[in-house]
Structure 1
Amino acid sequence: MTGITRSITGSIQYTSKQSHRLDAERGRESFRLDVHRDGSRVLAAHCEIDDAPAVVRDVNLRLDAGNRPQECFVRIAVGGQFRGSGWFAFNANEAQCESTTTVEGRVSQRFPLQAPLLAFGNHAIINDAYAMSLYDLTQGPGKQTFFMLLSSPDHRGATGPMIFPVQLAIEYVGEEDIEVIAGRFRARHFRILDVGMPEEHPDYDLWVTADEHYILLRAAVTGYMQTAYELSSYTVVEH
């Protein structure tokens, strides 16, 4: 008997909303979410951004049964060349990073935590969507603020990987039915606001599945980025 109870696999299409290249494909992402019998989860993704300098990212995040991040692996290439790889681990009191990068060299970080970490951002779009599970839905629509760590302060996740702390606000707008390339879904609409990064991050709308998996259905980033994301394939396997 396998130790996995459910696997969700899929792909996400990246497009531009800039007027001179409206709806042009600018990247893609494939992902897999495995739910284990002990309630833990592993979320893996391969991401490609075509816009120069191109970014290729592979990530693998493990969460415990309480939905708290336990460890994560991140490898990135920028402009067709290896940029860095890192392993992150989290316990109740500390976050650790061991990485090798072509800019900083060998990096070893220890970041003290006041409480167990609630979320870790590795810049995969599927991971951004899953972070919406932070929001306490019993409070209804509104805005809630959270502390989390990122693998890079760059908007495209093209530096590091290294530990970077941020505060962000998540606004819950409500539920609706939406149609995407992969089909029709009941969705929860969230918005990420006020991200504490070195460069101001534009508002970021996400529609995710209205279940415990928070799979990305659609997303849009405003401001100078003008990018969009859409679920293009979706498969669920019960083990």
Structure 2
Amino acid sequence: MGGVLESFTGEIRYTSSKEGRRGEERGRESFRIDIHEDGSRVLAAHGEIDDAPSVSRDVNQRFGPDGKPTESFIRIAVGGEFRGSGWFRFGEAIAECEAMTSVEGRISQRVELGRPLVAFGNHAMINDGFLLSRYDLSQGPGTQLIEDMYLSSPDHRGATGPMLFPIKLVIQYHGREELEVEAGRFEAHKFSFPDVPGLLEEHPEYDLWCTTDGNFILLKAAVGGYMQTHYELGALNHVRHV
């Protein structure tokens, strides 16, 4: 991969949008993104959801210069107890998972693919931001379907597994707008996930805003329906190493 050219570190605040809890802190996430000389990147994140049963998640994921996932590691705890940990590898025509969970036990998955995987959802909010890079912005505002994608868990909070779960993702792009969040003022791309075909339970409406600098760093997100949650970038630091 070569040396690290630049790094981003930051924090994302999780709050509730429910009546009677509006603005109440319900979790947090710290993250680091290292961008290497060859254009590949490594994303690491630690996230915590306080709402019972609480969820704690550690993620480390590598992407190739084309933005496609190549490998990932995920460990989750639910209610303070170990739930599972897993390692994922994505090759030219294969997706693999080796995991141990408290429910399913030892898991070994190997899925033959017709083409390289386009995206992998590990349930870190900073990764949801980078999923937006799968949209072809040259087409302008509109809706696109991402077909070659897996999740580490079909649960909306990512509290099961981890293991390979196939889905599709509909991404809607609305355009650019100025956005002010706790971390500062940014020009933002606004997107939505209007549908996630293949999920066991329909996901509520989901709006997301990310940076326009090509790094797709999540600035803000809002989930409606029964979830009523809000996510906002609380801090962002950028360091160039060369």
Q: What does residue 232 of structure 2 align with?
A: 230
Q: What does residue 130 of structure 2 align with?
A: 130
Q: What is the count of residue pairs matched by the alignment?
A: 238
2:152 is the counterpart of 1:151:
yes
Rounded to whole Å, the distance in 2 between the matches of 1:221 and 1:131 is 16
- Post-superposition offset of 1:154: 0.3
**SS in structure 2 of the partner of residue 20 of structure 1:** coil
- Post-superposition offset of 1:212: 1.0
Q: What does residue 174 of structure 1 align with?
A: 175
Rounded to whole Å, the distance in 2 between the matches of 1:112 and 1:194 is 25
Q: What does residue 54 of structure 2 align with?
A: 54
Q: What does residue 215 of structure 1 align with?
A: 217
Rounded to whole Å, the distance in 2 between the matches of 1:93 and 1:162 is 18
TM-score, normalised via structure 2 length: 0.97
Rounded to whole Å, the distance in 2 between the matches of 1:13 and 1:109 is 34
Q: What does residue 94 of structure 2 align with?
A: 94
Rounded to whole Å, the distance in 1 between the matches of 2:29 and 2:119 is 20
Rounded to whole Å, the distance in 2 between the matches of 1:51 and 1:133 is 30
The equivalences for 1:22-171 within 5 A come to 22-147=22-147, 148-171=149-172
AA at the equivalent of 2:203: H
TM-score, normalised via structure 1 length: 0.98
- Post-superposition offset of 1:194: 1.1
Consecutive aligned runs of 4 or more in structure 1 exceeding 4 Å deviation: none
- Post-superposition offset of 1:92: 1.2
Rounded to whole Å, the distance in 2 between the matches of 1:106 and 1:178 is 45
Query: Which residues of structure 2 form unaligned runs of 5+?
Result: none
CA deviation profile, 1:79-118 (whole Å, cap 9, x unmatched): 0011000000001111000000000000000112111111
- Post-superposition offset of 1:68: 1.1
CA deviation profile, 1:18-57 (whole Å, cap 9, x unmatched): 0021110000000000001111100110000000000000
Query: Which residues of structure 1 form unaligned runs of 5+?
Result: none
**SS in structure 1 of the partner of residue 20 of structure 2:** helix
**SS in structure 2 of the partner of residue 33 of structure 1:** strand
AA at the equivalent of 1:76: I
- Post-superposition offset of 1:168: 1.4
AA at the equivalent of 2:171: I
**SS in structure 2 of the partner of residue 72 of structure 1:** strand
**SS in structure 2 of the partner of residue 127 of structure 1:** helix
The equivalences for 1:176-215 within 5 A come to 176-196=177-197, 197-215=199-217
Rounded to whole Å, the distance in 2 between the matches of 1:113 and 1:203 is 29
Rounded to whole Å, the distance in 2 between the matches of 1:167 and 1:74 is 21
Rounded to whole Å, the distance in 1 between the matches of 2:239 and 2:205 is 34
**SS in structure 2 of the partner of residue 39 of structure 1:** coil
Rounded to whole Å, the distance in 2 between the matches of 1:72 and 1:193 is 26
Rounded to whole Å, the distance in 1 between the matches of 2:204 and 2:166 is 18
**SS in structure 1 of the partner of residue 227 of structure 2:** coil
Q: What does residue 16 of structure 2 align with?
A: 16
